[in-house]
Amino acid sequence: MTATVDDVPDEQLDVSADRGMPQHVAIIMDGNGRWAASRGMPRTEGHRNGVKTVRDIVRQAGELGIGYLTLFAFSSENWSRPPSEVKFLMGLLRAYVRSDLKELKKNNVRIRVIGSREDLDPGVRRLLEDAEHATAECSGLELVLAFNYGARDELTRAVRKLSAQVASGGKQPDAITGEDIEACLDTAGMPDPDLIIRTSGEQRLSNFLLWQAAYAEFYFAPMHWPDFDRNAFDQALSCYKNRERRFGGLGTAVST
Ligand code: IPE
Ligand code: IPE
Ligand code: MG
């Protein structure tokens, strides 16, 4: 196959960008329940304290000039938790958006929500849509809230959209490209995550960004989410800086 300069992704040609800083960081905020249990507190206290970490990390990401921060806040499988916990998490999201929207907007943060909105309470849904509209003109950090998100659900919905295009005669099956699939994902238009962080020591994706994580670097932090602080985030970022990403190529270590 002959490669031309047009085949090289723009970010690989951009000599001005800070090559060591990820453009998109995605975080699986895990361990709230265990954090609380280890202190003899109800799980909900862990979630409440987790919001404080969200505030700090969003601020830090903005200061560092990170373009996209995706936070996994509620998975499509988290509905299987006790109804009281689910209700608490819904209420916490609502409280967070209500109390922080003003400051987020002031800090030029743009909010985007990924995940299925269908099963959400209409009030929560409206609040999320309002937050997206209110910050649509912001040009700083893009804060992506993965809420009622599951990658298999996202891919299923994408397949449905593409199938509808085929059924209507607008698309030939043979002509479907990877870009067409990406355009049907909730993350359409966003760069793939460069770095995926998971707290609490668990080392799994739990149905997070399965398509988008194809070439992401992974970092597993041992502490629970409420204890993940600025220093821990700095550590994850400096670890990322020392990774060599190859994207299937040969990388820098090999000379020809
Ligand atoms: C992460 O903490 C928050 C959500 C999944 C909503 P958990 O609630 O999963 O806490 P652990 O993993 O049970 O400790
Ligand atoms: C993943 O954490 C989902 C979120 C952080 C929102 P879980 O706690 O739900 O994942 P499992 O069940 O341990 O895989
Ligand atoms: Mg968990």
Closest of 189, 216, 191 to residue 205, by C-alpha:
216
Residue 78 is a catalytic residue: yes
In a domain, 68, yes or no: yes
Q: Which domain holds residue 197?
A: 5-241
Closest of 254, 178, 200 to residue 38, by C-alpha:
200
- Does 130 score more than 60 pLDDT? yes
> How many domains does the chain divide into?
1
Question: Residue 2, SS3?
Answer: coil
In a domain, 249, yes or no: no
Which residues on adjacent β-strands are paired with residue 110? 142
Letter string b/e over residues 56-72, b meaning 16 or more CB atoms within 10 A of that residue's CB: ebbbbbbebebbbbbbb
- Does 255 score more than 60 pLDDT? no
- Catalytic residue, chosen from 18, 78, 130, 174, is 78
Average pLDDT over residues 111-133: 97
In a domain, 211, yes or no: yes
Average pLDDT over residues 128-141: 98
Helices and strands (DSSP H and E) totals, the chain: 8, 6
In a domain, 251, yes or no: no
Ligand nearest to the CA of 33: 1
pLDDT attached to residue 11? 56
Question: Does 28 contact ligand 2 (Cβ within 6 A)?
Answer: yes
Distance separating alpha carbons of residues 26 and 211, to the nearest angstrom: 13
Question: Does 32 contact ligand 1 (Cβ within 6 A)?
Answer: yes
CATH label of the domain that carries residue 173: 3.40.1180.10
Distance separating alpha carbons of residues 141 and 63, to the nearest angstrom: 9
- Does 254 score more than 80 pLDDT? no
| pLDDT tier at 16, thresholds 50, 70, 90 | very low
